[in-house]
Amino acid sequence: MNPHLPHATHIAVHDGHILGVGTADDIDGWQEAWGPLTLNTDFAERSLLPGFIEGHSHMMEGMFWDYHYVGYYDREGPDGTVWPGLKSIDEVVGKLKEIQAARKDKDTPLIAWGFDPIYFTDRRMNAADLDSVATNCSVIVLHASLHILNANNFVMEAADVKSSDNSEFIRRDESGQATGEFLGQLGYYMAMRTTGINLLAIASSPETLVNFANVARQTGVTTATDLVNPIPAGSEHAMREAVDAEDFPMRLVVAFQGNTMEPTEGVARMQELQASNSDKLRFSLVKMVADGSIQGFSARLKWPHYYNGAPNGLWYIEPERLGDYLKAFTEAGIQVHVHTNGDECTEVALDKIEEALRAHPWPDHRHTLQHCQMATRAHFKRMKALGVGVNLFSNHLYYWGDAHINITMGPERAARLDDAGGALAEGVPLAIHSDAPVTALAPLFTAWCAVNRLSSGGVTLGNGTQNISVKEALYAITMGAAYSLKMENEIGSLEAGKRADIAILAEDPIDVGAEGLKDISVIGTMVGGHVHLNQGREG
């Protein structure tokens, strides 16, 4: 990713940084000034790339591994164990029964995650399914979207789910009985109130952080983001202790959840946090969430809205207040990443960024739209003009591509979903992401999605102009993401002076090409000169 030296045979590392890159002879020259260098040939047959940067993930990925994975796709845990995908509701229930039978303390809540009903079209999971797992303890299954969950009757009785309420967030059968499926925050609230477990605690516990780092590390990531965290007073110290430890295998950028406090207080909190930044832990940006998700029908879309006629989605903040926050942070010189899924939301976010920039001009603000899945070419042109970057949710193409074609967007608009090709064509700085734990964290897979635009149902989204090349995708998961985090001067490429952050791959992705990109074996990483190997990986 270094334009003046795209390929090299040798790299020298000193004190956590890259001393030099080039041929053996090029490197030799450094020994005069720096003393003898030791030649390490462990990875002579491997392909070394700049460490991957996951520009939009969540620490929650590390916490969920305390629970049981029941998703449709295979997923690798922090200890390298692969959890096989479960291909029917019966398989999910069977797996839960197995887990329950093996548990020592059978009365404690049984919590699973990653379930995705979009792949099971014949029926919905219900309370009876989960009652068959256990009737004397809470059984809770969190959906992959994180917007829905299923509960057994034990939970519903504890909550006293009221039959009178006709809330659209409690799914009911024809007779009005709650089926056990709960939408939105109220499901989580019910689960947490009845079990006493804080399912969504922004756990900055060392364990969660280490789990998160290990999931990321195994996929070649050397810097990841926790892209929304209220960072309660004092919690930064616990995070620092964990992340700054020498054997912690990753750098972490934590985004402050902007609207946890009033704009002026938020600016003060950010300034306090930024003063404590270290090599491995950064509090450098603010995240604002402006709408919901497309597959949850809570994204704000422009007319003609949802393909299936569902009502338009939800604003998560008043546009006017979003503008107030953007103005305050822009004035203070603090970068903001705005979550916008629907095209209406993208447009409003751009309006508000433009207003903030008119009030407080800032040439290299690098405010970034996150997800930004339905942006049009017109939006990308505006982003270019305003200096706004984009981080697209390319994994969506695979996981929900079919649903977007058939249900949410319709074929025409689904063609431009996560239009990485369009962003680059219009000159918008591009990164791509997984939003883990919403989808699996693996930058090479994300790159594969952006390159191939293939849905899990085998359909290609778009007509080719939205695809990007393998090189462009590799750039997006390294320099592109580094740029979006304002860290392109220290990470994202392998060149003298930068941090020694490396992804060690079994094969060269350029040689492998578009199709096999996602299957390249990751041997390990180097972070700041420290090598972290994946167990039992052969090329």
User: Measured in whole angstroms, how far is the alpha carbon of residue 444 from the centre of its chain?
Assistant: 13
Q: Which residue has the tokens 């034990």?
A: 154
DSSP assignments along 115-174, one per residue: E-GGG--S----HHHHHTT-SSS-EEEEETTSSEEEE-HHHHHHHT--SS---TTEEE-T
Contact (Cβ atoms closer than 8 angstroms) between residue 522 and residue 537: yes
> What distance in Å separates the CA atoms of residue 485 and residue 474, rounded to the nearest whole number?
16
Q: Which stretch binds another protein (CB under 8 A): 259-267, 421-429, 450-458, 465-473?
A: 259-267
Q: End-to-end alpha-carbon separation of the chain, Å? A: 23
**Binds another protein (CB under 8 A): choice among 153, 205, 235, 312:** 312
Output the six-digit token pair for 98.
Answer: 């197995």
Strand partners, 229: 256
CB atoms within 10 A of CB 521: 15
> What distance in Å separates the CA atoms of residue 75 and residue 216, rounded to the nearest whole number?
12
Q: Which residue, 167 or 277, has its beta carbon nearer to another protein?
A: 167
- Which of these, 190, 101, 196, 201, lies nearest to 150 by C-alpha position? 190
Decide if residue 180 touches another protein (CB under 8 A): no
Decide if residue 197 touches another protein (CB under 8 A): no
Give me the least distance between CB of 147 and another protein, in Å please: 12
User: Measured in whole angstroms, how far is the alpha carbon of residue 392 from the centre of its chain?
Assistant: 10
Please tell me the count of residues contacting another protein according to CB under 8 A.
Answer: 44
Q: Which stretch binds another protein (CB under 8 A): 18-26, 177-185, 412-420, 517-525?
A: 177-185
Decide if residue 309 touches another protein (CB under 8 A): no
Give me the least distance between CB of 161 and another protein, in Å please: 6
CA distances from 228 to 19, 396, 405 (A): 34, 19, 29
Q: Which stretch binds another protein (CB under 8 A): 18-26, 36-44, 191-199, 530-538?
A: 191-199
Decide if residue 190 touches another protein (CB under 8 A): yes
Give me the least distance between CB of 220 and another protein, in Å please: 32
Q: Which residue, 324 or 418, has its beta carbon nearer to another protein?
A: 324
Q: Which stretch binds another protein (CB under 8 A): 312-320, 393-401, 482-490, 518-526?
A: 312-320
In the window 225-254, what residues touch another protein (CB under 8 A)?
230
Q: Which stretch binds another protein (CB under 8 A): 57-65, 114-122, 156-164, 468-476?
A: 156-164
**Binds another protein (CB under 8 A): choice among 86, 161, 409, 436:** 161
Residues at the site binding another protein, with contacts judged by CB under 8 A: 158-162, 164-165, 167-170, 182, 184-190, 192-193, 198, 200, 230, 257-262, 289, 300, 311-312, 314-321, 344, 348
